[in-house]
Amino acid sequence: MPLQKHHVVERFTRQLGGEPVWVVRAPGRVNLIGEHTDYNDGFVLPLAIDRAIWIGLRPREDGRVRVYSADYDQQAEFSLEEFVNQRAGWLEYIKGTAWSLQQAGYQLCGWEGVLLGDVPQGAGLSSSAALEIAAARAFAAASNLPWDPKAMALLGQQAENRWVGVQCGIMDQLISACGIAGHALLIDCRTLECRPAPFPSGCAVVVLDTATRRGLVDSQYNQRRAQCEATAKLFGVGALRDVSLEQLERASEKIDQSSFRRARHVISENQRTLAAAEAMSRNDLRTLGRLMDESHASLRDDFEVSSDALNTMVRCARKHPACYGARMTGAGFGGCAVAVVNAEAAEDFATATAAAYKNETGLEPAVYVCQASQGAELV
Ligand code: GLA
C-alpha cells in the first residue's frame, strides 16, 4: 500500500507538533521504453508511479530550511542566505534545488518539514529526481511561486547536473513533474513536448527489482553520454537524434566499433519508442511487448548497460505466458526491469517471476504491480 497524506501529517505532528500547512508529493517513475535517448535529444515513454517522495511543511520566518528525514531518522538544516555543497547525503538534493531556483532568480522563503518516501533508492526508479521535484514543489508553496512543471523539471535537472554532479538527462525530473494518472507520456526531449499515451485496457505494468545496485555516478553513464556526443559531433549535428541509421551505416568505417554500436542503440531506440507509443494507441500490446524485448537486446548488446541480474530477470519474466514484453529500465547496471503483462494474471506473474529469479540467483527480488500516477502536486 503506497504512502498516503495521513502518514505524512501524522509524522509531522509527532516530530514537529501542530500540522503542516502544505503536503507535497512527487512520484518516482518507470520508463517503458526509450533508454539513454533523453540526453541525445530523443524520445522516451515513462510513467509516474504510485510510489513517491512526500514533504509536509510549514513556513519559517528566519530564512532557514529545516528538514527531518523519517527514512534516515535525521534532522538537518541550512540558511537560504548562505549554504555550501557538502557533496553527500539527502539534504544536498534539497540544497541543490534551492540553489538552482535562486540561480533562476526566485526569492525563496524558509520552511520546516518532514520528508518521507516509498521510492526504493538506487533501484533506477528515480528517487533522487522525485526528491528534487518534491523540494521544488515545497519551495514553490512556501515562497508563493507559480508552478510551471516543465520549468521546474529543468531546474531539478540543473540541481542534479551542477550541484549533485550527475550528468543525467531530463526524463526523470520531467515525468515526476508532469506525469498524468493512467497514462505514460511520450516525451520529445528536444522540445519537451509531452503527449499522453493512455494504457490499453487489460494490461498491467510490473516493476521487477533485481535487488542489485550500482550507483549512477560510479557507473559508466557519463562515459556513454560523452561517446554519444562525440559521434554526433562527427556528423556535424547537435545530437544523435539528427542521425539516421542509413547515415550511420554509411559512415561505419570512420567510427570506432564501440561508438558505432552505442549510436546504433540510440537511433534504433528512438524508432522503437515512437512505434511503441503508436502501438499503445492501437491497443496493440503484442507489438509494444516485442519492442520492449528488442530494446533490452539493444541495451545489452549495443549500449552494454545491462547486467547478469537484469538479463536473468528479463528472461524469467518472459517465460510467463501473461508477459507481453520485458526489459531493463533506467540507467542500467543493476536496479529494475519492467514488464507489461496481462492484467488478469498480473499477481500470478509477479509471484512466479520472483520465485524463478530467486531460484536462479539466490537473490530476493521485490516486485510491484504499479499504477500510473499524477505528477508533482499539493495534496
Ligand atoms: C537515468 C537518467 C535519465 C536517463 C536514464 C537512461 O535515469 O537520470 O536522464 O538518461 O538514466 O535512459
Task: Tell me how far the alpha carbon of residue 171 lies from the centroid of ligand 1, in angstroms.
Answer: 6
Q: What is the pLDDT of residues 244-275, one digit of tens each?
A: 999 999 999 999 999 999 999 999 999 999 99
| Structure confidence at residue 218 (pLDDT) | 58
Any idea what the Cα angle at residue 186 is, between residues 185 and 189, rounded to 5°? 115
The grid coordinates listed for 305 are 548497460
Q: Mean pLDDT across the stretch 306-314?
A: 97
| Structure confidence at residue 220 (pLDDT) | 83
Which entry of 172, 209, 293, 308 is annotated as an active-site residue? 172
Q: Mean pLDDT across the stretch 291-300?
A: 98
Decide: 168 in ligand 1 pocket, CB within 6 A: yes
Query: Is residue 378 assigned to a domain?
Result: no
222 shares a domain with 187: no
Cβ neighbourhood burial of 202 (10 Å; 0-12, 13-18, 19+): exposed
Provide the angle, in degrees to the nearest 10, between the axes of the packed helices 127-142 and 171-178: 50
| Those residues with Cβ within 8 angstroms of residue 56's Cβ, 6 or more apart along the chain or in another chain | 8, 9, 11, 12, 20, 22, 23, 113, 114
E strand or H helix that includes residue 232: helix 221-234
From 140, 167, 195, the end of a domain falls on 195
Pocket test for ligand 1, best of 30, 37, 128, 171 (most atoms within 8 A of CB): 171
Query: Is residue 86 assigned to a domain?
Result: yes
18 shares a domain with 149: yes
For the chain, state the CA radius of gyration: 21
| Structure confidence at residue 215 (pLDDT) | 63
| Structure confidence at residue 368 (pLDDT) | 94
Q: What is the pLDDT of residues 75-113, one digit of tens each?
A: 999 999 999 999 889 999 999 999 999 999 999 999 999
63 shares a domain with 166: yes
Q: Is-contact 109 72, C-beta < 8 A? A: no
Q: Mean pLDDT across the stretch 312-316?
A: 98
**Residues spanned by the domain of 313:** 198-370
Q: What is the mean pLDDT of the chain?
A: 96
Structural domain total, the chain: 2
Decide: 332 in ligand 1 pocket, CB within 6 A: no
Residue nearest to atom 9 of ligand 1 (CA): 169
- % of residues, the chain, pLDDT over 70: 99
Q: What is the pLDDT of residues 41-54, one digit of tens each?
A: 999 999 999 999 99
Decide: 357 in ligand 1 pocket, CB within 6 A: no
User: What single-letter amino acid sits at 92?
Assistant: E
User: What single-letter amino acid sits at 22?
Assistant: W
CB atoms within 10 A of CB 283: 14
From 163, 195, 227, the end of a domain falls on 195
182 shares a domain with 160: yes
Query: Is residue 377 assigned to a domain?
Result: no
- % of residues, the chain, pLDDT over 90: 94
Residue 216 has pLDDT above 60, yes or no: no
Decide: 199 in ligand 1 pocket, CB within 6 A: no
188 shares a domain with 205: no
167 shares a domain with 134: yes
Residue nearest to atom 2 of ligand 1 (CA): 168
From 195, 214, 239, the end of a domain falls on 195
Q: Is-contact 372 179, C-beta < 8 A? A: yes
Is residue 172 part of the annotated active site? The answer reads yes
Q: Mean pLDDT across the stretch 329-356?
A: 96
| CATH number of residue 208's parent domain | 3.30.70.890
Decide: 42 in ligand 1 pocket, CB within 6 A: no
Q: Is the pTM of this model over 0.85?
A: yes
Query: Is residue 127 assigned to a domain?
Result: yes
Residue 23 has pLDDT above 90, yes or no: yes
**Exposure string (b/e) for 70-108, b if CB count within 10 Å is 16 or more?**
beeeeebebebeebeeeeeebbbbbbbbbbbbeeeebeb
Query: Is residue 379 assigned to a domain?
Result: no
236 shares a domain with 187: no
Residue 217 has pLDDT above 50, yes or no: no
Q: Distance (Å, rounded) from C-alpha 162 to C-alpha 99? A: 10
Q: What is the pLDDT of residues 123-174, one digit of tens each?
A: 889 999 999 999 999 999 999 999 999 999 999 999 999 999 889 999 999 9
